[in-house]
């Protein structure tokens, strides 16, 4: 059996007071954190060691703190990043963790990640002040009844974390109505967050971050990246950035991310610090998949052994990745007749579709270029991140 390692990064709410203290005993880690603190304009060492729970709950603090921690822990785990490219089958991040994942896959730099997350946190905090909103976790109950109840009260299922764990978000009045008339056999747990993240209430934040993102240069991921918008594997750097911006006001479908991991054949999931949330979900929803929650630096040797055990290879080993088009999901590939007949594809040209049990997903050549080889045939079964066609850049394409 092939072994597949997936590395995941948690989202807001994973942080706890003092969690960075043991990491800062390492002078290299501390020095790198000072650099990222300078980029973000926030004293991350203070917030990760001395600040209380209320201080680090602040969206403007929590988000940069989480991204910086994940990025620096990744460098501790893989001192030579190229080692990760050869071992990691995929990366994914929950909510703001997707910025961590994108930087780890080298779509954006660590500095770009810190600027984006700084502005994301500020913009989301400002949007939260416009209308009193919040979020409530709905635990247990029948899934269809839970979603129907959320919709009935005008709320959004902002996080779908798999069986028995959906987070509803909206105005405080709507959440109060849900508390009074919630789904049967479900437990409601109000979350201590500033607003209704991943809903239409965050639309003003999307506009601000989108304006900044226009000036961000990107590269295609060096590791398959699973988008938390829909669980698709994304291999176009510009699309990764667009999704990072759009997910601010779009629900997180972690359930679909886990489905994609299973389709990839995942055997091991390692969660970056502050770890525990996503591995906890995986233990409940992904039976038979081994997990590792990296919380403190004294676990690094064991974490490296875990990566060595599960990190057999990456689908991107053999070929340059920046001109390769990959399948976004598991399904049957149907090649576009026009694409099959030409030697050069224009930027954004369709190459075919992947038919799944749920829908039909169009696949495009994000960069365009000369067709070097088709790597699949019409009607082939494909897996998430599987290369479909290899292109060579052509002037003007």
Catalytic residue positions? 95, 198
First to last CA, the chain: 40
C-alpha span between 194 and 12 (Å, rounded): 11
C-alpha span between 153 and 312 (Å, rounded): 47
Cβ atoms of residues 248 and 230 within 8 Å: no
- Of 176, 147, 171, give the one whose Cα is nearest residue 160: 147
Cβ atoms of residues 227 and 241 within 8 Å: no
Tracing tokens 């990691």 back to the chain, one arrives at 88
| Residue 364 token pair | 């495009």
C-alpha span between 79 and 51 (Å, rounded): 29
Residues 6+ apart with CB under 8 A from 215: none
The order of strands in the sheet holding 360-365 is: 360-365, 349-355, 331-335, 381-382
- Of 279, 304, 268, give the one whose Cα is nearest residue 77: 304
In this structure, the strands spanning 349-355 and 360-365 are antiparallel
C-alpha span between 263 and 345 (Å, rounded): 29
What are phi and psi for residue 331, nearest 5 degrees? 165, -160
C-alpha span between 91 and 24 (Å, rounded): 25
C-alpha span between 225 and 130 (Å, rounded): 33
C-alpha span between 125 and 239 (Å, rounded): 25
Residues paired with 333 in a beta bridge = 354
């Amino acid at each position: 059996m092939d072994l597949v390692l997936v590395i995941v990064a948690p989202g807001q709410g994973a942080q706890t007071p003092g969690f960075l203290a043991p990491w800062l005993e390492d002078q290299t880690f501390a020095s790198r954190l000072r650099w990222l603190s300078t980029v973000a304009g926030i004293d991350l060492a203070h917030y990760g060691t001395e600040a209380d729970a209320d201080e680090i709950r602040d969206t403007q603090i929590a988000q940069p703190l989480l991204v910086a921690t994940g990025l620096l822990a990744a460098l501790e785990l893989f001192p030579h990043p190229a080692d990760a490219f050869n071992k990691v089958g995929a990366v994914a991040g929950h909510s703001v963790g997707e910025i961590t994942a994108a930087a780890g896959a080298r779509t954006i730099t660590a500095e770009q990640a810190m600027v984006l997350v700084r502005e994301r946190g500020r913009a989301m905090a400002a949007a939260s002040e416009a209308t009193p909103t919040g979020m409530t976790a709905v635990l247990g109950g029948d899934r269809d009844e839970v979603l129907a109840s959320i919709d009935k009260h005008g709320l959004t299922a902002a996080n779908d974390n798999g069986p028995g764990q959906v987070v509803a978000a909206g105005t405080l009045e709507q959440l109060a109505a849900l508390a009074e008339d919630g789904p049967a056999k479900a437990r409601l747990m109000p979350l201590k967050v500033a607003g209704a993240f991943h809903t239409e209430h965050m639309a003003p934040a999307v506009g601000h971050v989108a304006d900044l993102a226009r000036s961000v240069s990107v590269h295609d991921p060096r590791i398959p990246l699973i988008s938390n918008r829909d669980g698709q594997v994304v291999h176009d750097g510009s699309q990764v950035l667009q999704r990072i911006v759009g997910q601010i006001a779009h629900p997180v479908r972690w359930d679909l991310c886990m489905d994609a991991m299973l389709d990839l054949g995942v055997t091991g999931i390692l969660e970056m610090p502050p770890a525990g949330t996503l591995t906890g979900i995986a233990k409940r929803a992904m039976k038979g998949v081994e997990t590792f929650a990296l919380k403190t630096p004294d676990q690094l040797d064991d974490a490296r052994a875990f990566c060595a055990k599960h990190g057999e290879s990456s689908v991107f080993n053999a070929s340059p990745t920046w001109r390769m088009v990959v399948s976004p999901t598991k399904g049957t590939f149907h090649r576009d007749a026009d694409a099959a007949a030409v030697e050069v594809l224009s930027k954004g040209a369709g190459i075919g579709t992947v038919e799944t049990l749920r829908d039909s997903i169009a696949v495009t050549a994000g960069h365009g270029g000369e067709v070097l080889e088709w790597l699949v045939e019409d009607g082939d079964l494909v897996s998430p991140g599987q290369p479909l066609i290899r292109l060579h850049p052509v002037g003007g394409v």
